[in-house]
Structure 1
Amino acid sequence: MTAVKTDNKFSFFSSGDFPLKILRMPRHNETRLHTHDFSELVIITGGSAVHFTGQSEHTVMAGNIFVLKGADEHGYRETRNLELINIIFKNDRLGIPLWDIAGLQGYQALFRVEPGYRRYYSGESGLRLSVDEMRNLLVLVQNLEKELDSPPENGAWYSACAVFMQIIIFLSRHYGMNKKLQNAKVCRISDLLGYMEKNYAEKISLDSLVRRSFCSLSTLRRIFIEVTGYAPIDYLLHLRIQKAGLLLRQNIPVSAAAFACGFDDSNYFSRQFKKITGCSPREYRLRIL
């Protein structure tokens, strides 16, 4: 497998490749700041290093698990016998469904909040597995490798997605078991994202989010923008539009989809839907169906 490097940006996938691979790095050397055109699930299996971004740094060691988004600059220095496994993937092409896992605080923390938070703040990863937990994880990684090495005509790609989903849920459930390594702000924002996933159809006010987060309004807004790119209520609006789009794909009437996703006024829903997606709900449904 050959990496293509262009202007400090690495790529492992060509247009026809299955967008999920495993890279074992038994001796990872220091690297300067770089980006990828894919996301990484990083499993530190041995040694230690300082993992750094443009604005922060984090000590990583055996048992640490963290996620990197492709556009995030990062590198490694002070590597000491660093060994790691990278599960690299293109989420937009892989199309793994989230369903109820998006409501788990652990999923939101590991896959959504920490990658954004890590860009700006130093500290330790919130997930570090014990020896036994790491052993169980590595069994799943071996299963994933087996499927990825099998001929795709035997359904190996489909099976690989299923095993990757097992890895995601395994890590999401284990996140936060070691309370000593949890970052309070990461946990609070993760809890909010999970809460909004479960309750997007209910009335949710900015004041209620502030109270639930135990943060000031300014702190909540700043971290939300850093992590998601949106202020809290803007994020909720986009989440509701996303959920409504899923209902429209099922040929649910526009007004029913609007009310099911927390909108009291179908006309307001239609205006916001067009503003965010670029087309009206009816146009969207015609394109999909």
Structure 2
Amino acid sequence: MMQAITLICRQLLGNDHVQGSRNKIEPAIQAMQDEPGINWSVAALASLCGYHPVHFTKLFKHEMGVTPKHFIIRERIKRAKLALLQGEKLELIAERFGFKSLHYFSYQFKQETGLTPTEFRMNGRFGEDG
């Protein structure tokens, strides 16, 4: 029943393939950007868009080029960069943006930027993609 309602709503709203799949995943993108510190599950994000988690993940990866998990990590790192430049403590940044530990935050930060959070702060600048 819920799938039928979702399908009807999509058709009424005009969310078909002509508008592009970005519109179909926009509620999830918006949620992750608005609240990057939440531990979003794929099921919760898929539910926001009215999809099964497997289909949502495929659609998301096709449209964004990364998985939902990688997207949220990127969003968190973007915000962490600004917090670092504003002098916030690493522990508080890690906690605020949903990283399980300072070590995991530092690891993900280095994977994404090529620098540790401390190196980034010492350089005092954003990378090419901000």
User: TM-score, length-normalised on structure 2?
Assistant: 0.75
In structure 1, the residue matched to 2:41 is: 205
Counterpart among 66, 71, 93 of residue 257 in structure 1 = 93
Residue 191 (structure 1) aligned with residue 24 (structure 2): no
One-letter identity of the residue aligned with 2:97:
C
Contact 2:43 2:52 in 1 (8 A): no
In structure 1, the residue matched to 2:112 is: 276
Aligned pairs for 1:138-157 within 5 A: none
Pairwise CA distance, 1:236: 0.8
**Same amino acid, percent of matched pairs:** 24
Structure index of larger Rg: 1
In structure 1, the residue matched to 2:71 is: 235
Partners of 1:183 and 1:241 lie apart in 2 by: 32
Segments of structure 2 that go 5 or more residues without pairing to the other structure are 1-11, 126-130
Partners of 1:273 and 1:219 lie apart in 2 by: 29
- Of Structure 1 and Structure 2, the greater helix share is in 2
Segments of structure 1 that go 5 or more residues without pairing to the other structure are 1-178
Counterpart among 68, 80, 85 of residue 244 in structure 1 = 80
Secondary structure, aligned partner of 2:87: coil
- Of Structure 1 and Structure 2, the greater strand share is in 1
- Tell me: higher relative CO, structure 1 or 2? Use CA pairs within 8 A at least 6 residues apart: 2
Aligned pairs for 1:61-210 within 5 A: 180-183=13-16, 186-210=22-46
Number of residue-to-residue matches in the alignment: 111
Secondary structure, aligned partner of 1:203: coil
Residue 225 (structure 1) aligned with residue 52 (structure 2): no
